[in-house]
Structure formats: C-alpha cells, structure tokens
C-alpha cells in the first residue's frame, strides 16, 4: 500500500469526499445557471419584440399626427367657406336695394348678378364639413390611444431591459462562483463550465473514490486482523509464562 499509513489513507478519503461534494455542488450550480441562461435568452427576445413594437407605435403615432393636422386644416378651411356663405346670406337687405348701373354701397361694383336672387347655398359643403369633423374626432381618439400605447411600450422596454441587465449580472455571478469552485478542486486547468464536462469528471472521480474506499476498507480489515493476531499472541505468551513458573 505504497508505505502509507491508515491515517494517510483516511485523509485521502476525506479529501476525495470533499471533492465529490464540490462536484455535486458544481453540477447543481450548472443546472441553475442553465435556467438563468434560458431566462436571459427569453428576456433578449422579449426586449427585441417590445423594441420593434415601440418603433412601429412611434411611426404610427407620427402618421396619425400628420393625418390629424391635415384634417384639422381642411376642416378649418371648410368652416371658413361656410362662414363666407353665411355672410353673403346676411346681406339680403342690402341686396334688395341694388339698382342697375348704380354702384354697390359695399363694394362699388356696377354689376349686380345677385340683385334679384341670392346665390344658392352649397349643401354639399355642409355635408363634407360634417364628415371632416367626424374624421377629426376619430383621428384625435386614435392619436390619443396610440400615444398611450407608445408610453406603455416604452415602460415595457425599460422594465424588460432592466430585468435583462439584472439577469445577466446574476449569470456572471454564477459563472464566477462556479469557476472558483472548479479551481478549488486542484485541477491543472479550469474545465469548460458545462454539465457534460463535470458529469464526466464526476464519474471519473466517483470511480477513484470507490477504489480508494475499497483500499481503505481492505487496510482496516487487515489492521483488525493484525490486532486480533496480536491479541492472540499476547494471550499465548502470557499463558506460556504462567505455565513456565508453575
């Protein structure tokens, strides 16, 4: 047994068991780290999706702003046209006093095409104005909803990005801890931190631990046998001496 004492073998066994526990701890840590890596991948995907949705929402919001501005300007123009029509109709009293070849008291014109009848009211303009007004209300509602959607997506992007950052930090802490544990095993070089690698190392170490346990058991059995023989020898010697003095 290479000239080593039982104490040496017991110490070697204790060290081997400690390493075995380290392998088990590392494998458990790798399983947790694998779950963290999956969470990182999930958060990266969610962050990308939220960012894309945010960009689309901002684009849509800008489009709605442009459409709303155009419709509001168009509606303002229609209202102005209606106002002009109403002003023309309000001059009914002055129209009835117009005389041919006499200047209009308002504009000085000598021709009075509407002296006998007022211009027709454009009903189509009124209808179109109502439609534009309805469209403006719809666009304002859509724009408000889209603005709220944009704010919500901005918050989602911020929250998911923070979660991703925290999880990446957790992942790095796990890697650092496992690297330290791997180095504490006294390996010549730090192995790749994968479950497969440490399962193989643990299997090899388990075989060595089993062999070492068997050797120690053999030593202890031999030691017990030697002690028994020594006891028998001492008893025989004592008996021999007793008979010799008799």
For the stretch 101-144, pLDDT in tens is: 777 766 766 666 665 555 556 678 889 999 999 999 999 999 99
Q: CB neighbours of 163 closer than 8 A, spacing ≥ 6? A: 43
Is residue 188 predicted with pLDDT exceeding 50? no
In this prediction, residue 60 has a pLDDT band, given cuts at 50, 70 and 90, of very high
**Cβ-contact 139, 64 below 8 angstroms:** yes
Is residue 201 predicted with pLDDT exceeding 50? yes
Residue 25: count of CB within 10 angstroms of its CB: 13
Q: CB neighbours of 237 closer than 8 A, spacing ≥ 6? A: none
Is residue 194 predicted with pLDDT exceeding 50? yes
| SS3 assignment for 92-159 | HHHHCCCCCCCCCCCCCCCCCCCCCCCCCCCHHHHHHHHHHHHHHHHHHHHHHHHHHHHHHHHHHHHH
C-alpha distances out from residue 227 to 11, 231, 232, 233, Å: 22, 6, 9, 10
Average pLDDT over residues 216-222: 59
Residue 189: DSSP 8-state: S
Per cent of the chain over pLDDT 70 is: 58
Which of 35-44, 134-143, 194-203 has the least mean pLDDT?
194-203
Residue 167 token pair: 């999880």
**Cβ-contact 153, 54 below 8 angstroms:** yes
Is residue 209 predicted with pLDDT exceeding 80? no
Average pLDDT, the chain: 77
In this prediction, residue 157 has a pLDDT band, given cuts at 50, 70 and 90, of very high
In this prediction, residue 205 has a pLDDT band, given cuts at 50, 70 and 90, of low
In this prediction, residue 187 has a pLDDT band, given cuts at 50, 70 and 90, of low
**Cβ-contact 27, 205 below 8 angstroms:** no
- For residue 190, the model assigns a pLDDT of 47
Phi, psi at residue 105, to the nearest 5°?
A: -65, -15
Q: What angle do CA 205, 209, 211 make, to 5 degrees?
A: 115
Is residue 17 predicted with pLDDT exceeding 70? no
- For residue 176, the model assigns a pLDDT of 82
């Amino acid at each position: 047994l290479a000239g080593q004492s039982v104490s040496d073998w017991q110490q070697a066994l204790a060290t081997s068991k400690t390493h075995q526990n380290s392998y088990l701890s590392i494998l458990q840590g790798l399983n947790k780290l694998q779950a963290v890596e999956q969470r990182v991948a999930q958060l990266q995907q969610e962050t990308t999706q939220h960012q894309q949705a945010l960009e689309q929402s901002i684009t849509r919001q800008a489009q709605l702003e442009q459409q709303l501005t155009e419709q509001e300007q168009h509606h303002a123009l229609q209202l102005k046209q209606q106002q002009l029509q109403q002003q023309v109709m309000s001059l009914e009293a002055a129209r009835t006093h117009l005389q041919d070849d006499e200047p209009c008291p308002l504009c000085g014109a000598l021709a009075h095409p509407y002296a006998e009848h007022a211009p027709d009211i454009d009903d189509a303009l009124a209808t179109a104005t109502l439609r534009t007004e309805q469209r403006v209300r719809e666009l304002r509602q859509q724009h408000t909803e889209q603005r709220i959607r944009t704010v919500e997506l901005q918050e989602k992007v911020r929250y998911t990005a923070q979660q991703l950052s925290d999880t990446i930090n957790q992942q790095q802490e796990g890697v650092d801890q496992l690297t330290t544990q791997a180095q504490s095993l006294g390996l010549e070089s730090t192995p790749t931190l994968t479950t497969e690698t440490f399962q193989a190392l643990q299997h090899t170490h388990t075989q060595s631990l089993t062999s070492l346990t068997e050797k120690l058991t053999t030593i202890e059995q031999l030691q017990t046998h030697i002690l028994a023989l020594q006891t028998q020898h001492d008893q025989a010697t004592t008996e021999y001496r007793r008979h010799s003095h008799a």
